[in-house]
Amino acid sequence: MPAIMEQPATPSPAFSSLALDPQILRAVEEAGYTEPTPIQIQAIPQVLSGRDLMAMAQTGTGKTAAFTLPLLQRLLPHANTSASPARHPIRALILAPTRELAIQVGESVEEYAKHVPLQSTVVFGGVDIRTQKPALLKGVEILVATPGRLLDHVESRNVMLNQVQVLILDEADRMLDMGFMPDLKRILTLLPKQRQTLLFSATFSDEIRKLARDFLSNPATVEVARRNAAADTVRQAVVAVSEDDKFDALCGLIRSRDAKQVLVFTRTKLTAARLARRLQRSGIPSSDIHGDRSQQERLKALDAFKDGEIIALVATDVAARGLDIDQLPLVINYELPPNPEDYIHRIGRTGRAGASGEAISLVDRDEERLLKDVEKLLKRDLPRDPAPRVAPSTPRPNKISAPTDDWFSRPYEPTSAVAATKQAEPVPAREAEPKKQVAALLRGGKL
């Protein structure tokens, strides 16, 4: 299976061979990067040449540096320390689908540009527009924005886009999924025709190809991850568990691994909110991040997570898009996503840039179909792990009963076999499992 961070057979060129200014390379070195990732090796020379680019790369591949480093290099002739806003027109526009991604891209731009006099700022919706105005009026060469908020600023005459030389569409597939096409079209009419356009997308769907035909001119194409690729450094597994036992299994996984940071995925906002509260009550510091929380609450939760104040961050798919948390060791799917491609996005939050990680899915019987879809997309069956043998957080003696169905204790069967036995006849209730659970409770001193 191809890995996102797959290395080419020949030795990677060093960053120093990529024709980047020493001050940009200094920031790269300070970021701790020793060698460029495959997307960086392929994309940086193309961007430096001034060509349009269509790049297929998911979050986690190092794509932000792949477009930001050569972008800084191209803008260097305009770098200056003048205090006059007129000397700092917007020369590069980076569009991102979500606030979280915009913020993270903005942080990366700042980090890579810290030794060159090029200014940048980020604008996104959900916060008071007036707070973003001063930075724009001071002048920035690089603007990172979500499409809707950018148009608000255009209407308020806080930005002029007629000197943009480089347009970057980050996670373009997400932008289309989220219905940003009309906004993108409007933004395009405000930009000079003569410009460089870079499109980054996790997939090359027909819609993306059409977008590229409309917006790009004779683009170079680079591709480092197929849509069904998942980082080899991530250990993926499934724990089959009944819906009633999911919560205890989740606590067990977190405790058995002594996890300090775990990202937990749910399908709905309501489940995310409830689960975070329940984890919190069980002594696992937690917070939730989803569309019903204000921008401020989301940022606060994310900061608390990054700072280690909370252990579990419970998120929905939409809210988690673009989240970049270095070295995230554990991702747990409390519920599988309805769309198998979201599974790839979810597990892409761990095992980044070569770091190892674990992605465990708690799957109940009703999710068997979704699991099969995921395995089909991955082109392999995921190993089944036993449920963690850790005492539940809250003793529930009355609930220690045999599951009504034996799917949970079936020996692991490949997907095709699972499909064939999906409608298996009733199986005898298990004998051994309740005893094991009682033993676990006894060990944990709960009975």
Binding positions for ligand AMP, rule: CB under 6 A: 33, 36-37, 40, 59-65, 324, 326, 352-353
Quick one: 291 exposed, middle or buried, by C-beta within 10 A (0-12, 13-18, 19+)?
exposed
Measured distance CA(22)–CA(107) in Å, rounded: 20
Report, in Å, the least distance between residue 439 CB and ligand AMP: 42
Rg, C-alpha atoms of the chain? 24
30 vs 309 by CB, closer to ligand AMP: 30
33 vs 154 by CB, closer to ligand AMP: 33
174 vs 267 by CB, closer to ligand AMP: 174
Measured distance CA(204)–CA(197) in Å, rounded: 16
Report, in Å, the least distance between residue 144 CB and ligand AMP: 13
Report, in Å, the least distance between residue 287 CB and ligand AMP: 21
304 vs 353 by CB, closer to ligand AMP: 353
Coil/strand/helix, residue 144: strand
96 vs 253 by CB, closer to ligand AMP: 96
65 vs 382 by CB, closer to ligand AMP: 65
Confirm if 53 and 199 have CB atoms less than 8 A apart: yes
Report, in Å, the least distance between residue 72 CB and ligand AMP: 14
Quick one: 353 exposed, middle or buried, by C-beta within 10 A (0-12, 13-18, 19+)?
middle
Strands 142-145 and 196-201: unpaired
Report, in Å, the least distance between residue 352 CB and ligand AMP: 5
Partnered with residue 385 across adjacent β-strands are 239
Contacts by 178-183, CB closer than 8 A, 24 or more apart: 178/97, 178/98, 180/97, 180/147, 180/148, 181/211, 183/147, 183/148, 183/150, 183/151
327 vs 404 by CB, closer to ligand AMP: 327
Report, in Å, the least distance between residue 142 CB and ligand AMP: 16
Phi, psi of 323, deg, nearest 5: -60, 130
Phi, psi of 53, deg, nearest 5: -140, 135
Report, in Å, the least distance between residue 12 CB and ligand AMP: 9
353 vs 377 by CB, closer to ligand AMP: 353
Q: Where are the alpha helices (DSSP H) in 156-268?
A: 172-177, 181-190, 206-215, 246-256
102 vs 418 by CB, closer to ligand AMP: 102
Report, in Å, the least distance between residue 215 CB and ligand AMP: 21
Question: Tokens standing for 127?
Answer: 């916060």
For tokens 């419970």, the residue is 314
Report, in Å, the least distance between residue 193 CB and ligand AMP: 29
Phi, psi of 43, deg, nearest 5: -85, -35
33 vs 127 by CB, closer to ligand AMP: 33
Count other Cβ atoms within 10 Å, centred on residue 299: 17
Q: Where are the alpha helices (DSSP H) in 226-294?
A: 246-256, 269-281
Count other Cβ atoms within 10 Å, centred on residue 206: 7
For tokens 């409830």, the residue is 274
Report, in Å, the least distance between residue 126 CB and ligand AMP: 21
101 vs 279 by CB, closer to ligand AMP: 101
Distance from CA of residue 243 to its chain's centroid? Answer: 26
Measured distance CA(287)–CA(297) in Å, rounded: 10
